């Protein structure tokens, strides 16, 4: 499948289906929307990505029958920090060379760090608001750690599917 927009839409539908039908335990919340935002072209401005994150969050909440705005609340900070995380993890040279994100060029380890950071930002906002004082801090911490591990594994697969891979190592 060559169309990145179609891949993005199908993965978004997969995310909402995952939230609707595969919620096995209250300890694990799997989200790969931050990885999807990471995989958007780097030249996209922060404001455009933040608007997209807000709209995606509202649509996801509507499709999942969740608290309206909760996903947007957690996804907009991810979009706001996206370019900073790319700069920190992949280096300033990434923007100077005008590279596209690729597992071959940047490597799996760097992608894992970027996904961990963005997913962590998402979960730091999402979990306390979702729990809304109903659970102990121990439960929230355990949910954060387990969700971060599970979400990062699924996010790596989603990012791999989203990015256009080629045999070239360098541009």
Domain CATH for 81: 1.10.1760
Is residue 70 within 8 A of residue 126, CB to CB? The reply is yes
- Residue 97 banded pLDDT, cuts 50, 70, 90: confident
HEC profile of the chain? CCCHHHHHHHHHHHHHHHHHHCCCCCCCCCCCHHHHHHCCCCCCCHHHHHHHHHHHHHHHHHHHCCCCCHHHHHHHHHHHHHHHHHHHHHCCHHHHCCCCCCHHHHCHHHHHHHHHHHHHHHHHHHHHHHHCCCCCHHHHHHHHHHHHHHHHHHHHHHHHHHCCCCCCCCC
Is residue 34 within 8 A of residue 78, CB to CB? The reply is yes
Residue 110 lies in a domain: yes
Residue 133 lies in a domain: yes
The pLDDT > 70 percentage for the chain reads: 94
Residue 170 lies in a domain: no
Residue 106 structural domain: 4-162
Query: What is residue 152's predicted lDDT score, i.e. its pLDDT?
Result: 95
Instruction: Give pTM, 2 decimals.
Output: 0.88
Query: What is residue 108's predicted lDDT score, i.e. its pLDDT?
Result: 87
Total structural domains within the chain: 1
pLDDT tens digits along 26-44 = 889 999 999 999 999 888 8
pLDDT tens digits along 83-95 = 999 989 988 877 7
Residue 168 lies in a domain: no
Residue 167 lies in a domain: no
Question: Rounded to 10 degrees, what is the CA torsion of 27, 31, 34, 40?
Answer: 170
Q: What does residue 157 show for φ and ψ, rounded to 5 degrees?
A: -65, -40
| CA–CA distance, 34 with 31 (Å, rounded to integer) | 7
Residue 81 lies in a domain: yes
């Amino acid at each position: 499948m060559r169309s990145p927009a179609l891949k993005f839409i199908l993965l978004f539908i997969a995310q909402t289906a995952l939230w609707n039908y595969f919620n096995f335990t209250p300890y694990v919340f799997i989200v790969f929307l931050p990885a999807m935002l990471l995989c958007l072209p780097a030249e996209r401005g922060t404001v455009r990505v933040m608007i997209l994150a807000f709209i995606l969050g509202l649509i996801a909440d509507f499709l999942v029958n969740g608290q309206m705005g909760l996903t947007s609340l957690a996804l907009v900070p991810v979009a706001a920090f996206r370019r900073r995380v790319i700069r920190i993890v992949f280096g300033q040279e990434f923007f100077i060379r005008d590279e596209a994100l690729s597992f071959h060029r940047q490597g799996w380890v760097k992608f894992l760090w970027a996904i961990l950071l963005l997913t962590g930002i998402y979960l730091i906002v999402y979990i306390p608001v979702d729990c809304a004082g109903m659970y102990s801090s121990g439960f929230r911490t355990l949910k954060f750690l387990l969700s971060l591990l599970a979400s990062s594994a699924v996010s790596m697969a989603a990012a791999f599917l989203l990015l256009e891979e080629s045999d070239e190592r360098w541009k």
